[in-house]
Structure 1
Amino acid sequence: MAGEHERERLLRWVERVAAFCVEEWGLPPITGRILGWLMICDPAEQSAGGIAETIGASRASLTSNMRFLTAIGLVKKVRKPGDRTAYYRIEDDAWQKVIQRKLESLSAFGEIAGEGLDLAGGEGHRAERIQAAHDSLTWLQDLAARHPPRR
């Protein structure tokens, strides 16, 4: 059955997204599954029940994760006229938000590294280790400033 084969392929990809989110960002697997499914599903808007069934999650677990994802602006809750069901979709700028947050945290660490350079006196092995971090973070900030995300 072609439909079932396609669904299996989609769910394997969703699991890859979930594994990435767990390994790289420390998110629970269900959170990664939600993000993965909302990225690849058709239609883009999905009910909580439909998402829970598709990714094999309990409604309670899904609800708490949806609250988290909507609070941080990655997922949007939508209502359809005449339909009491709430639907969810990934925000159009979700990945731009993720990247922006990462850049902001790296920028904050760049400031901490700058303070460390002052504390280390600007010379010697301690300063070299801190300078390496500072230079890398400065390079990344410059790169991001020169190449903003395209849509």
Structure 2
Amino acid sequence: MELTFSQVGTEREIAEVAKLAADIWREYYVSLITREQVDYMVDKYQSVPAITEQIEQQGCEYYLMRAEEVPVGYMAVKEEEGRLFLSKFYVHKEYRGRGYASRADAFLEELCLRRDLSRIWLTVNRDNASSIAVYEKKGFRVVREQVADIGGGFVMDDFVMEKEIAHRP
């Protein structure tokens, strides 16, 4: 199945991402954090107003992943100090295990090469063993741990992972 990556910019695309986010987060993250924290984080970081602000005011780029025109996942990235921050990367449950993470990783590496960026970095919940395993398989390594207060009485207890990008001669 062909997988495409299109940069999100329209209100309709932002709404598609927000719907995907709500579905994915409520399905996946309740096994790692409380339902209350999931709801808080979806509203604060993945709602239509939050995504719009991230794109328009914070320099984030969202990419919608589609398989045969069906939205199957999304990513958000931001350039920071010669590196690419992978802020968000999520695939809907029904489409996991189809190699989309490998294709997304190749897309991100190509983005880094075109922009002359040296690394991709991300944060991942310390208890999210399956995602950590995927990232390690793609060449990421844990560089440190961090606990971030995100308000509402909640924290994100994460590993910071990083992957060096080998530039072509």
TM-score with structure 1 setting the length: 0.28
Relative contact order: is structure 1 or structure 2 higher (C-alpha 8 Å, sep ≥ 6)? 2
| Structure with the bigger percentage of strand | 2
